[in-house]
Homo-oligomer: A and B are copies of this chain.
Amino acid sequence: MGRRNDHSREEIRELALAATFEIVTEQGFHQLSVRKIASAIGYTVGSLYLIFKNLDDLILQANVRNLEIIYQILQQTEKKQKKPEQRLLAFAHAYLHFTIEQPYRWQMIFEHRMQNNEPVPEWFEPHVSRLFSLLEAPLAQLMADAEPEQVRQTARAMWCAVHGVSTLYMTEKLEVVGSESVQNLLDRLMGIFLEGVKTA
């Protein structure tokens, strides 16, 4: 077969990314394969390699959208609270909630590894760091007379802590039964952390 031109490059890109989300959401990230994506959109693998550099590239592009959606969720959840402490708590809860409710989409972001020890391209990182920069505003209110750089690093420390809970829960390395006790664990962690921030 030759030129069909049923879809433009941009359309094929859309189809591929949509199919990727569908496969990952239904079967899990580690079940994703180039062949599955291709057959889902009615093209062969070769066509995908015309539009994406390789599978890593495709996944990263899908993850940009993935991160965008999480950003929206976190932002909106946080807005509902006024006190800075409550906003930070809402943030942590929303993040863990996403992890539990959309495990495969969480997987796609945090269990993806580059092949051949290739580094993650620089254009990707900002989409991640944008997430936890959400913490900086409420944290700044809590840390009255602190340098901006201090706030920034504290935000990252808090993000690490919350993400650690998600990670260990998802990888079944936490000896935790059910999602309820993870919630408790996160609450304790946040309680201690916020107490520490206010005291210091």
A191 in contact (CB, < 8 A): yes
Min distance, Cβ A124 to any Cβ of chain B, angstroms: 9
Instruction: Give this chain's copy count.
Output: 2
Q: Of B129, B157, B165, which contacts A160 at CB under 8 A?
A: B165
Q: A69 within 8 Å of B by Cβ? A: no
Choose among B153, B175, B185 the residue that contacts A185 (Cβ–Cβ < 8 A): B153
Count class of interface residues, chain A: 35 or more
The chain B residue sitting closest to A157, CB to CB, is B189
A residues lining the B interface (CB < 8 Å): 28, 30, 110-111, 113, 117, 119-120, 125, 128-129, 153-154, 156-157, 159-165, 167-168, 171-176, 184-185, 188-189, 191-197, 199-200
